[in-house]
């Protein structure tokens, strides 16, 4: 704004005063104009329209765009070599925190439960818990992170999603971009990008603290995905599907980031 | 005779005033997020002195039950906060302005004298250039705190992808505490800063908008009057 070279020593005090007034006028004027513009910009962002609910919902339109763009940027840092920190079993919480039971609050019909997997061919797999338990078991003791802000070291056991995919011949399906999972009553549902689902620490868990899953923690089978917040760790999985389009997602419809990756 | 003395560069003024509303939005949206798990308090010997935050405070600012909204705002304005900070730091390094800013060896001792002076305990303040010793420490600390907020922020934003940052910050849980404590630090800084600016007066305040101060100088050479 000011170039000292130009400010040759003026001859008189009056000339200096004139220059002071001029520079004050320009700088304070600019300051006021930019200040008003910034406030106006903030107001229009704060009052911007809420998106119409589709796959995502509940967020201001510009903020939703920002969430999606931020995901695209930080996706560049995603790697299967980046593993969540694991802990010794002694550090795992005995009393595991239980936040919600959305989609899993009706009585569980354990005998008739089957995991339904929709293949690309249209074939529908109905997998029993015993079939899943027959696969190699993976245990994971890690710091579970809730979108609310709390975290807790928890101990889960189950089948890695990659092992599950391989055993049931779902490799063609994993070439699609997304995995969707739903509770049997379709009350809770999540969508995952394929990379996160295929992360080596993503497991279909049937054990917690070396015991079968309690009902409140998602019996008989739940998702444990350490590269996502808890909201994506679906309890009582009823069905799994694959798609190139983003599957619907319970919390993304309510203003949360669709990806919610960690 | 009055003379114009250049003080603050345009970049310094720009980044200073841009940072102010951005940081305000970050603190506000941060509180919307924090509310969802507001477990921090100051407890000494079993007695809780401060609980962050009391209900009346939340209700006054309409904070409750806006977690998703808070995250959406926070994860947009984090970009502006970070870019503005990078711009300022890069400018300060490249222009050499850091020499006026970063504490010197003597600053630590002098800052104490400045403090005594400001509290009217000591008459004389140590001689200074653009910033006095206390300002050097405070204004450098606030930049370090800003970097701390970005690093701890990343550590809790992507703790698996940036596991090394999370590790440096003492783990996920502790990183969140630092992130929160730094925010308290900003508020504390702001309060002191505003009081000091008011005391320092108009000429000083104007220099952060106009860039210059007006000083009274005896003309060295006699000019025709």
Mutate to test the interface with B, among A73, A149, A254 (most CBs of B within 10 A): A149
Task: With respect to residue B51, please indicate whether it lies within any of the assigned structural domains.
Answer: yes
Number of domains making up chain B: 1
Q: What does DSSP assign to residue A168?
A: T
Q: Any CB–CB contact under 8 A between B211 and chain A?
A: yes
Task: With respect to residue B223, please indicate whether it lies within any of the assigned structural domains.
Answer: no
- Say yes or no for a CB contact (<8 Å) between B4 and A13: no
ipTM: 0.91
Contact between residue A162 and residue A156 where contact means Cβ atoms under 8 Å apart: no
CB-based contacts of A218-221 (< 8 A; 24+ apart in sequence): A218/A104, A219/A108, A219/A110, A220/A108, A220/A110, A220/A113, A220/A129, A221/A115, A221/A129, A221/A132, A221/A158
- Say yes or no for a CB contact (<8 Å) between B71 and A17: no
CB burial string B90-99: b at 16+ within 10 A, e below:
ebbeeeebee
Task: With respect to residue B84, please indicate whether it lies within any of the assigned structural domains.
Answer: yes
Average pLDDT of the residues in B137-164: 96
CATH number for region A61-254: 3.90.420.10
* CATH at B157: 1.20.950.20
Task: With respect to residue B222, please indicate whether it lies within any of the assigned structural domains.
Answer: no
pLDDT band (50, 70, 90) for residue A6? low
pLDDT digits (tens, 9 = 90+) for A163-197: 999 999 999 999 999 999 999 999 999 999 999 99
Q: Which domain holds residue B167?
A: 2-216
Q: Any CB–CB contact under 8 A between B27 and chain A?
A: no
- The answer on pLDDT for B40 being more than 70 is yes
Strand partners, B198: none
Task: With respect to residue B221, please indicate whether it lies within any of the assigned structural domains.
Answer: no
Instruction: Give Cα separations from A253 to A248, A259, B19, B156 (angstroms).
Output: 8, 12, 32, 23
Q: Any CB–CB contact under 8 A between B1 and chain A?
A: yes
Task: With respect to residue B10, please indicate whether it lies within any of the assigned structural domains.
Answer: yes
**Mean pLDDT over the full length of chain A:** 93
- Say yes or no for a CB contact (<8 Å) between B2 and A13: yes
Q: How do the domains of chain A map onto residue ranges?
A: 1-47, 61-254
Question: Is the peptide bond between A220 and the residue preceding it cis, with omega within 30 degrees of 0?
Answer: yes
**Facing residue for A151 by CB, picked from B6, B36, B173:** B173
Instruction: Give Cα separations from A192 to A207, A223, A227, A228, B56 (angstroms).
Output: 22, 11, 10, 9, 39
pLDDT digits (tens, 9 = 90+) for B204-216: 999 999 999 898 8
pLDDT digits (tens, 9 = 90+) for A215-245: 999 989 999 999 999 999 999 999 999 999 9
> Torsions phi, psi of A31, nearest 5?
-60, -45
Task: With respect to residue B63, please indicate whether it lies within any of the assigned structural domains.
Answer: yes
- The answer on pLDDT for A63 being more than 60 is yes
Q: What does DSSP assign to residue B130?
A: S
């Amino acid at each position: 704004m000011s170039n000292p070279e130009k400010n040759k020593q003026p001859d008189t005090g009056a000339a200096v005063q004139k220059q002071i007034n001029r520079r004050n006028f320009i700088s304070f004027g600019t300051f006021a104009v930019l200040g008003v513009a910034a406030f106006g910009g903030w107001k229009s962002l704060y009052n911007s329209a809420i998106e119409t609910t589709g796959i995502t919902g509940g967020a201001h339109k510009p903020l939703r765009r920002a969430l999606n763009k931020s995901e695209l940027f930080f996706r560049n840092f995603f790697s299967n070599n980046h593993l969540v920190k694991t802990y010794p079993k002694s550090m795992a919480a005995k009393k595991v925190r239980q936040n919600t039971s959305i989609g899993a609050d009706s009585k569980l019909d354990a005998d008739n439960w089957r995991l339904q997997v929709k293949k690309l061919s249209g074939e529908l797999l109905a997998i029993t818990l015993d079939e899943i338990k027959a696969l190699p078991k993976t245990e994971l003791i890690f710091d579970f992170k809730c979108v609310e802000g709390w975290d807790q070291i928890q101990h889960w056991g189950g089948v890695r999603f990659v092992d599950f995919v391989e055993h049931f011949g779902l490799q063609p399906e994993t070439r699609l971009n997304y995995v969707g999972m739903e509770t049997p009553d379709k009350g809770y549902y999540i969508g995952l990008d394929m990379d996160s689902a295929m992360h080596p620490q993503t497991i279909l868990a049937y054990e917690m603290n070396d015991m079968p899953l309690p009902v409140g923690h998602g019996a008989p089978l739940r998702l444990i995905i350490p590269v996502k917040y808890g909201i994506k760790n679906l309890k009582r999985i009823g069905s799994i599907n694959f798609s190139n389009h983003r599957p619907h997602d319970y919390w993304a419809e309510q203003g949360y980031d669709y990806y919610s990756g960690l | 005779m009055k003379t114009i003395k250049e003080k603050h560069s345009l970049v310094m003024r720009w980044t200073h005033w841009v940072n102010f509303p951005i940081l305000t939005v970050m603190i506000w949206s941060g509180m919307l997020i924090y509310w969802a798990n507001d477990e921090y308090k100051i407890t000494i010997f079993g007695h809780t002195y401060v609980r962050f935050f009391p209900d009346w405070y939340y209700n006054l600012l309409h904070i409750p039950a806006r977690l998703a909204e808070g995250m959406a705002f926070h994860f947009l304005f984090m970009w502006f906060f970070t870019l503005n900070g990078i711009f300022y730091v890069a400018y300060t390094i490249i222009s050499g302005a850091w020499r006026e800013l970063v504490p010197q060896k003597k600053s630590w001792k002098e800052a104490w004298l400045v403090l005594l002076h400001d509290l009217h305990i000591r008459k004389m303040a140590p001689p200074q250039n653009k910033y006095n010793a206390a300002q050097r420490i405070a204004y450098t600390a606030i930049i370090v705190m800003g970097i701390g907020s970005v690093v701890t922020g990343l550590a809790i934003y992507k703790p698996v992808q940036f596991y090394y940052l999370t590790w440096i910050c003492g783990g996920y849980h502790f990183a969140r505490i630092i992130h929160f404590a730094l925010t308290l630090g900003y508020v504390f800084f702001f309060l002191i800063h505003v009081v000091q600016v008011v005391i320092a007066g108009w000429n000083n305040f104007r220099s952060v908008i106009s860039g210059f101060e007006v000083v009274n100088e005896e003309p060295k050479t006699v000019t025709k009057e």
